[in-house]
């Protein structure tokens, strides 16, 4: 039986300091996805970075504040981002398949069933890598998930994934709220103590910090899916996770 993982790639991981999409990183991660597929693990990617890519394409130095500007930015950036994935995927004889969702889609029985059927069909063909993002251009306060950590957890539940892997620029949950200290390899329960370690949101480009990652772990756990938080800059991080090496933080929460 092939396994199915949902792997979320954060903006901080995919963009360089100057805000441009980090092409080398995308290439490296796509190579790892191809490696997982060879090991019998199908991957659904949830990618951030549409707004960042749009900012670059539009020549914006600062992230816009107005909602419409952000949405316009996403419409420009999303195809740029997909083109970048496509370029690397083709080298592995794979094609990217784009799905843009909002909370309204996840909340609707018929639409989420359609999304699942599409994902099942794509993965059964063996040559497509579904790449999901929030449909930022149309998602307003009422229907948006708002961050891709939670979106990826909903996708993991919808797709009946075996595992959710959140890759970003952090090693995992650390013993100090500022992200320093020692790595916590295993979390069995999210209580106030664990929440206190999550601190606030991350850097300017990061929508989600640890707070949304814990929320994602809880959403995934409710669907029986284990979550891993790991550093996407670590070489072979996905292969190491597949080999069962202790990488990052594993959330083995009871199903509620
Ligand atoms: N959907 C947003 C984007 O592609 C990212 C949201 C997030 O990083 O959580 O720019």
* Domains of the chain with CATH codes: 3-251 (3.40.1160.10)
Enumerate the H helices of 108-143 as residue ranges: 109-125
Among the listed residues 107, 122, 224, the one whose alpha carbon sits nearest the alpha carbon of residue 164: 224
Residue to mutate, 19, 26, 50, 154, ligand 1, most ligand atoms under 8 Å from C-beta: 50
For residue 105 and ligand 1, the question of a CB distance below 6 A is answered with: no
Contact status, residue 197 vs residue 174, Cβ threshold 8 Å: yes
For residue 136 and ligand 1, the question of a CB distance below 6 A is answered with: yes
- Per-position pLDDT tens, the chain of length 256: 899 999 999 998 999 988 889 999 999 999 999 999 999 999 999 999 999 999 999 999 899 999 999 999 999 999 999 999 999 999 999 999 999 999 999 999 999 999 999 999 999 999 999 999 999 988 887 778 889 999 999 999 999 999 999 999 999 999 998 888 999 999 999 999 999 898 754 444 445 589 999 999 999 999 999 999 999 999 999 999 999 999 999 999 987 6
* CB atoms inside a 10 Å sphere around CB 18: 8
For residue 157 and ligand 1, the question of a CB distance below 6 A is answered with: no
The C-alpha atoms of residue 154 and residue 118 are separated, in whole angstroms, by 16
Q: From its phi and psi, is residue 172 left (phi > 0), alpha (psi between -120 and 50) or beta?
A: left
pTM of this structure: 0.95
Tokens standing for 87? 């370029």
Rg (alpha carbons) of the chain, rounded to whole number:
17
The C-alpha atoms of residue 43 and residue 123 are separated, in whole angstroms, by 8
* CB atoms inside a 10 Å sphere around CB 58: 13
Residue 146, exposed/middle/buried by CB under 10 A (0-12, 13-18, 19+)?
A: middle
Residue owning tokens 């500007």: 69
Report the separation in Å between the CA atom of 48 and the middle of ligand 1, taken as the mean of its atom positions: 4
Q: Which residues contact 195 (CB under 8 A, 6 or more apart)?
A: 214
């Amino acid at each position: 039986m092939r396994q199915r993982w949902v792997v979320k790639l954060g903006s901080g991981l995919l963009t360089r300091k100057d805000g441009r999409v980090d092409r080398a990183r995308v290439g490296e991660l796509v190579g790892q996805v191809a490696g997982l597929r060879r090991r019998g693990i199908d991957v659904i990617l949830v990618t951030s970075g549409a707004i960042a890519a749009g900012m670059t394409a539009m020549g914006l130095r600062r992230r816009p504040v107005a909602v419409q500007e952000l949405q316009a930015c996403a419409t420009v950036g999303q195809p740029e981002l997909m083109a970048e994935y496509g370029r690397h995927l083709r080298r592995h004889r794979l094609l990217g398949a784009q799905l843009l969702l909002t909370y309204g889609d996840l909340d609707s029985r018929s639409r989420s069933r359609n999304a699942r059927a599409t994902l099942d069909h794509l993965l059964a063909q063996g040559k497509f890598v579904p790449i999901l993002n929030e449909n930022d251009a149309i998602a307003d306060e009422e229907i948006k998930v708002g961050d891709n950590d939670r979106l990826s957890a909903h996708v993991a539940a919808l797709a009946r994934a075996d595992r959710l892997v959140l890759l970003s620029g952090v090693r995992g949950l650390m013993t100090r709220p500022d992200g320093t200290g020692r790595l916590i390899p295993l979390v069995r329960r999210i209580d106030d103590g664990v929440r206190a370690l999550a601190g606030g949101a991350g850097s300017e480009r990061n929508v989600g910090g640890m707070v949304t990652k814990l929320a994602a772990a809880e959403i995934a756990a409710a669907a029986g899916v284990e979550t891993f938080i790991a550093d996407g800059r670590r070489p072979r991080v996905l292969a190491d996770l597949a080999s069962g090496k202790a990488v990052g933080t594993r959330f083995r929460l009871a199903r509620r």
